[in-house]
Structure 1
Amino acid sequence: MNVVVFDLETTGLSPERDAIVEIGAVRVVDGRIEESQKYETLVRPVNETGQPMLIPWRAEQVHGISNEMVRHAPAMGDVLPEFLDFVGGSAVVAHNIGFDAGFMKANARRHGLLWQPAAEYCTVQLSRRAFPRERAHNLTVLAERLGLSFAPGGRHRSYGDVQVTAQAYLRLLEMLRVKA
């Protein structure tokens, strides 16, 4: 299956009050991760009136993206049409798709666009099916469980998380086909 695996970093947890500060994505074609077909950008956070937003200290501690890093980055209004073009009519995959898709839907609505991927797949849900006796299914634990590792400095950065999520997605599909 051909899909786009994506990940967002944000200023917080609310799609309505918080902003996206980074988007990373990679295309998976015929079961292969196509590193040459990737999308990666920082995003300057602004509120619904277009005023700059600061990245809260707690969020910066998670993803390491500072206000200085996004100061000259494009705003979501410029980034979103590009990203939607990159996704095109593909299905999308994310780790905890509800979070990422919620931010994409809210931002698309704000900018008069539509978030309409062909389908949405969640590696958390796939992990729960593959490892039904396990309680933890966060990306760090799943990576360890599958023997995957993050590039140095890659955890909690969009493209670093995307690389591991894409690998996990392919391995989980393989595992679930065997179990079926």
Structure 2
Amino acid sequence: MRQVVLDTETTGLSPLEGHRIIEIGAVELLNRRLTGKHFHHYLQPDRQIDPGAEEVHGISNEFLADKPRFGDVAAEFLEFVAGAELIIHNAAFDVGFLNAELARLENGDVGRIDDICTVLDTLPMARRMHPGQRNTLDALCRRYGVDNSGRSLHGALLDAQILADVYLAMTGGQVTLLLGDEANAAQEGNTVQPVRIRADRPALAVITPTREELVAHITRLAAIDKASGGRCLWLAGGDAT
């Protein structure tokens, strides 16, 4: 089983506002073992970095001035991830940006990254395993004893390496942990009670968002959560980075 653990850094919060990827870092897992193979590039975004984003990752416009553009490394990137399962913490953020970059390519028929690869998001996984707790990458490092002492700023390759260690620790005992949680809930009598609806209650009007609206909404919330260090009030747990 081939997996690629991936992270990005960006000029700002949302690709819908023209923000771009400025760093991609990815490491390879083969049968749950780090192979030592990795993909890493800083990228020239052809736009200014928002001050708030620079405070998070410390990457400056001057540093990126002579770096390649996404189109220059796209073929290498797609070759690295082809056929793999992508493991990403708060995947909506990174996938949204990757899809925006792929759509800008001159041969715009590449498609979406989630059509090319399967994507596993470790954030909802962590929320299921640790409900009611913070599940930022730093919080998971503390919980699983993963060394993140070099993470004074966000960096795509470093964060991908750290997330790989966290993912392996999380999934090493996942079945036992889930069974333990279920057993504890049963012992404490935490059962779900049915909600009774009156038969004469009028039907509620439901307005279903379009796919584009839903993607934009999820991408925006994920971006706010990541940029704010996991303090987005509209996401349960506030733990997206």
The normalised TM-score by structure 2 is 0.68
- Equivalent residue, structure 2, for 1:50: none
What stretches of structure 1 move > 4 A for 4+ residues in a row? none
Question: For structure 1, which segment, 125-134 or 5-14, has the greater mean C-alpha deviation from structure 2 after superposition?
Answer: 125-134
Letter in 1 for 2:131: P
Shift of 1:152: 2.2
Question: 1:121 corresponds to which letter in structure 2?
Answer: L
Q: Residue 148 of structure 2 aligns to a residue in which SS?
A: coil
Structure number, greater radius of gyration:
2
3-state DSSP class of the match of 1:82?
helix
Report the residue type matching 1:142 in the other structure.
L
Instruction: State the shift of 1:155 in Å.
Output: 4.3
Equivalent residue, structure 2, for 1:161: 159
Give the SS at the match of 2:135.
Answer: coil
Q: Which residue of 2 aligns with 1:145?
A: 143
Q: How does 1:7-26 map to 2 (within 5 A)?
A: 7-16=7-16, 17-26=18-27
RMSD: 1.5
Task: Determine which structure has the larger strand proportion and give its number.
Answer: 1
Report which stretch shifted further, 10-19 or 153-162.
153-162
Question: How much identity, in percent, do the aligned residues show?
Answer: 36
Is 1:69 the counterpart of 2:68 in the alignment? no
Deviates more, 1:63-72 or 1:116-125: 116-125
**Residue pairs, 1:105-124, within 5 angstroms:** 105-111=99-105, 112=108, 113-114=110-111, 115=113, 116-124=115-123
Q: Any gaps of 5 or more consecutive residues in structure 1?
A: 47-52
| CA separation of 1:151 and 1:42: change in aligned 2, threshold 3 A | farther
Asked if 2 retains the 8 angstrom alpha-carbon contact of 1:123 and 1:168, the reply is no
TM-score, structure 1 as length reference: 0.89
After superposition, the C-alpha distances for 1:29-73 in whole angstroms (9 at most, x for unaligned) are: 1111122x1001100002xxxxxx111221111001111211110
Which residue matches 1:44?
A: 44
**Offset at 1:2?**
1.9
Q: Is the 8 A contact 1:7 1:94 kept in 2?
A: yes
Is the 2:81–2:117 Cα contact (8 Å) retained in structure 1? no
Q: Output the CA distance in 2 between the equivalents of 1:141 and 1:117.
A: 31
Write the distance in 2 (CA, Å) between the matches of 1:75 and 1:98. 22
